[in-house]
Chain A
Amino acid sequence: MTIMMPAPDQMVLDRRDAIVRDFREIVPGEGVISSAAEMLPYESDALTAYRQPPMVVVLPETTAQVSRVLKYCFDHGIKVVPRGSGTSLSGGALPLADAVLLGLSKFKRIREIDFDNRVVVTEPGVTNLAISQAVAHAGFYYAPDPSSQIACSIGGNIAENSGGVHCLKYGMTTNNVLGCELVLMSGEVLRIGGKTPEQAGYDLMGIITGSEGLLGVVTEVTVRILRKPETARALMVGFSQVEAAGECVARIIGAGIIPGGMEMMDRPAIHAAEAFVNAGYPLDVEALLIIELDGSSIEVDELIRRVEAIALGCGSTTCRISGSEAERDLFWAGRKAAFPAVGRISPDYLCMDGTIPRGALPRALALIRDLGEKYGLGVANVFHAGDGNLHPLILYDANKPGEMDKAEAFGADILRCCVELGGVLTGEHGVGIEKRDLMPHMFSEVDLNQQQRLKCAFDARGLLNPGKVFPTLHRCAELGRVHVHGGKLPFPDLPRF
């Protein structure tokens, strides 16, 4: 658990009292927190193995305050770490000793619900679930549904491009956000996109989404809402072999069926979940699929029949079909509680988040099993099988010396395997600090330089959330230099304009 963060700036630390005083001018009342005890809750996000008290916590309530705080930091060369609800699993909101922790938790108001244009305009501190709840009375919902939806903020969802079990059919955050109000590190306030289905010019919203708080601070969000499907039903299918479950997933997709959600759990995860919530999961299977189909009742009934037939053809040993909403909820209860359930059987666990091509699922599982044996650690697997997003939960005990390091090394090996199988380091949790040093495994220096140049277009001084995502930081001036390749030029007749 050693990760190098940018060295604290002693000049800034020396001026801490004056800086805190100045922030109190900008954000009056209780919006500036500077005592060690009160800053304690802000020391880490949901990647709790890493902790660092910030220099000061600032909780602004208005865009104007956010703008002034950022402008002040910009002028004085002070780093800023933005934070939503602090549910990041990758350490995206881990403070820095010499940085301001800028919390958006006071941006709690839904500003507008516009059913005619099917959008909600909201402040970033509103939780993901609260948006769906605010429009539920009219039969609408906000589609992305990360497991932390009860707590995670929509602003944090933008930062991480959050997914969830339903993103197989309905997309991730980036596919469901139309616009935002963005405050740049310089304090400049911009409006990107809005209620229109597309924005003018370059797709800046697309680059802000998933930028992990490195490009700007979002102070307002416009999201797309959808009408709930007429009905949804789920199948719970057990297999005596993981390979058969993987084959079943591939055949369902191959048959042109895109379920609302398609989740897989392996034996350890099934047992942990069943012991926790008594969802009625079969305990004599190696893999369990939960497949949800939604749409009109006629369509759902027909697709249930087709999926059941495919499952049988793949050698399923058990198959239950939900006959009521209560039963469907019960099927999901175990899956949704899988992380805490695993938390009950192991003192600690690390949740990984790689993505692989669907077809590589059986191979990935075998590799993870072998690695588990090599490291001598248990692992429970929970997957968004429909889109190949793996969540291996590595079981360890932080109190045993060296075990956490071993678990992290195991996790890094799993992610390297994901890349080697044609996949990526993270499907929905973000890079943060957790996968930062693995980035060169997926991207070359040239690739990473191009990404950092983009960062320079938003934050040329590199003050916003430094130390996250990129393993090596370069100065913008250096990155912006065009190298003229001399010597033999292969297109000698190219005219000069």
Chain B
Amino acid sequence: MNILHIRDAADVEAAVRTAIAGEQPLEIIGHGSKRSIGHVMMTNAVLDVSALNAVTCYEPSELIITVQAGAPLDEVLSLLDSKNQEFSFEPMNPAVLLDSRSGRGTIGGMIGAGLAGPRRIKAGGVRDHLLGAHAVSGFGDSFKAGGRVVKNVTGYDLCKLLAGSWGTLAIMTEVTLKVMPKAEAERTLVLRGLDDLAANRAMTAALGSPYDVSGAAHTPHSALKAARGALAGLASMGQTATLLRLEGIAASVVHRGAALAADLASFGAAEFVENAESAALWREIRDVAPFAADGPLGAWPVWRIVCPPASGGVFGQTLTRETGGEVIYDWAGGLLWAALPPSVDAHAASLRRRLAPLGGHATLLRADEGLRRTVDVFHPQAKGVAALAERVRQSFDPKSIFNRGRLTRMPI
């Protein structure tokens, strides 16, 4: 495998132009923390952008940060934390699920994957926070998208496409992201022993309340037990746990917690977990710790399923019964993490058939190479939409230089 190490943004452009001339597809990596997601790529050359790792400009009072795409996410998060700020979409740490030794990855990888955590229900996803980007297209041109301010409707919003494009449209070299102040206090309300359907109803009621819930998750007891950290602490009573997070100033989260508990009294008595302990719970939900690569379910394939939130419970319960797998719910039922016992197609066909009438979609986020060669990792789209998406891809990269084959399975 040839690895092209670049030194600056100009190198990226030069490398891409060279690749275009040679019709040579490139795998684009930062730290490689999410390399095992997607189909096996059709390339033998790697473009490593991790040297583009500088923080260009951080202006806390403007609520923006401009960084080079290869900047380590951990370091950027520490910097934000030093000013009591954060990315409010809670980017997940893929290392827990994927057993990656390359840590939490880079900013560019975070954007390309677009994997947001629990607070997405309130604050939006990665796509909602990417304000601007400099990138190199598959035409070998450096271009700019968006700007450095939150409110901007000048031209097409190309940043939305870059987020979640898995590096198939352009190579980002520098990006500007919106940052937000951290909440002063947080409090998690815990309901015990609800089955999937009741938990889904409780989460729906919580999101329909005026108490500004910023996280709504549900885990079966077995998953709590499988987690070794904070979630395991909830396992002692042998019951499921439904978690509802409130954030804000201290007096407010106390008040809202009590009011929400009263509203949800029909679902049982609530317990509360405060501040640092609460934060630890949500980190594990965000990273799907119960399905950790080094945990008891580490060998099972893991699906990331997105569906209308109120239908999550029924779908998850059926999926669990039929496959003998485990499901963890986030986003009030709109996001399901499913670890399913190994099977020929990781249950792809039945899962997607059942998901179709709901308008949901499923990504096989963790699977060995064999499965990734035979199963569609990313959800197949309706014909017309797939054709449009392909034209959109070609409008950035007509020669398929970037991450060729990652999104679409090639016939064997």
Contacts and interface: CB of A to CB of B under 8 A. Distances in A.
Contacts of B248: 295-296, 299
Contact of B153 (A203, A429, A496): A429
Interface residues of B, number: 107
Interface in A451-469: 451, 453-458, 469
5 contacts: A114-B310, A195-B359, A201-B407, A389-B151, A444-B144
Contacts of B211: 230, 296
A75 B188 CA distance: 59
Contact of A357 (B149, B180, B309, B385): B149
Interface stretch (A95-103, A123-131, A167-175, A369-377): A167-175
Contact of B63 (A200, A253, A449, A490): A253
Contacts of A139: 210
A227 B208 contact: yes
A200 B143 contact: no
B158 A454 contact: yes
Interface of A: 114-119, 139, 160-161, 163, 167-168, 171-172, 174-175, 184, 188-192, 194-207, 209-211, 227-230, 250-251, 253-254, 256-258, 295-296, 298-299, 302-303, 355-359, 384, 387-389, 422-431, 435, 439, 442-444, 446-451, 453-458, 469, 480, 482-486, 489-497
Contacts of A295: 212, 248, 252
A202 B161 contact: yes
B262 interface: no
Interface in B369-387: 378-379, 381-382, 384-386
Contacts of B143: 444, 446-447, 449-450
Contacts of B154: 424-426, 431, 435, 439, 442-443
B193 interface: no
B264 interface: no
Contact of A167 (B125, B140, B151): B151
Contacts of B161: 202-203, 206-207, 454
Contacts of A203: 127, 160-161, 163-164
Given A211-B156, A295-B252, A428-B151, A486 B385 contact: no
Given A201-B389, A450-B139, 17 more contacts: A160-B153, A198-B306, A199-B361, A200-B381, A202-B164, A206-B127, A302-B251, A303-B249, A387-B149, A443-B144, A454-B161, A457-B392, A457-B394, A469-B155, A490-B14, A496-B23, A497-B42
Nearest to B61: A254
Nearest to B43: A497
Q: Which of A174, A201, A458, A490 has most chain B Cβ within 10 Å?
A: A201
Contact of A197 (B45, B59, B63, B306): B306
B99 interface: no
Q: Is the interface of A mostly helix, strand, loop or mixed?
A: loop
Interface string B136-154: 0111111111011111111
Contacts of A114: 310
B18 A494 contact: yes
B360 interface: yes
B115 to A, nearest CB: 10
B61 A196 contact: no
B2 A427 contact: no
Q: Closest 6 A-B residue pairs measured CB to CB?
A: A206-B160, A256-B181, A299-B252, A200-B361, A116-B310, A457-B391
Given A203-B163, A443-B144, A194 B155 contact: no
Contacts of B392: 202, 204, 207, 454, 457
Contacts of B164: 198, 202-203
A191 B306 CA distance: 16
A160 B152 CA distance: 11
Contacts of A423: 147-149
Given A174-B157, A450-B396, A483-B140, A358 B151 contact: no
A171 B155 CA distance: 18
A494 B388 contact: no
A479 B33 CA distance: 35
Contacts of A455: 156
B17 interface: yes
Contacts of B140: 482-483, 485
Nearest to B11: A490
Interface string B301-334: 0000011111100000000000000000001001
A251 B141 CA distance: 40
Nearest to B330: A197
B229 interface: no
Contacts of A389: 151
Contacts of B102: none
Given A163-B151, A450-B396, A194 B334 contact: no
B100 interface: no
B391 A356 contact: no
Contact of A484 (B21, B251, B394): B21
B388 A458 contact: yes
Nearest to A168: B150
B147 A495 contact: no
B133 to A, nearest CB: 11
Contacts of A486: 21
Given A190-B384, A447-B144, A480 B24 contact: no
Nearest to B14: A490
Contacts of B121: 197
Contacts of A422: 148-149
A218 to B, nearest CB: 14
A355 to B, nearest CB: 5
B130 to A, nearest CB: 10
Given A357-B62, A389-B151, A457-B391, A495 B2 contact: yes
B255 interface: yes
B25 interface: yes
Interface in B31-65: 42-45, 59-64
B140 to A, nearest CB: 6
B395 A457 contact: yes
Interface in B248-288: 248-249, 251-252, 255-256, 259
Contacts of A167: 151
A439 to B, nearest CB: 7
B212 A298 contact: no
Contacts of B252: 295-296, 298-299, 302
Contact of A196 (B20, B308, B388): B308
A204 B385 contact: yes
Contacts of B45: 494-495, 497
B347 interface: no
A196 B156 contact: no
B182 A230 contact: no
Contacts of A197: 120-121, 125, 306, 309, 331, 334-335
B84 to A, nearest CB: 6
B2 A493 contact: yes
B20 A201 contact: no
B398 interface: yes
Nearest to A178: B308
A175 B251 CA distance: 29
Given A175-B124, A296-B256, A425-B154, A302 B249 contact: yes
A173 B310 CA distance: 23
Contacts of B4: 491, 494
Given A200-B378, A299-B248, A355-B149, A207 B309 contact: no
B398 A489 contact: no
B225 interface: no
Given A302-B252, A458-B388, A490-B11, A207 B156 contact: yes
Interface in B219-258: 248-249, 251-252, 255-256
B212 to A, nearest CB: 6
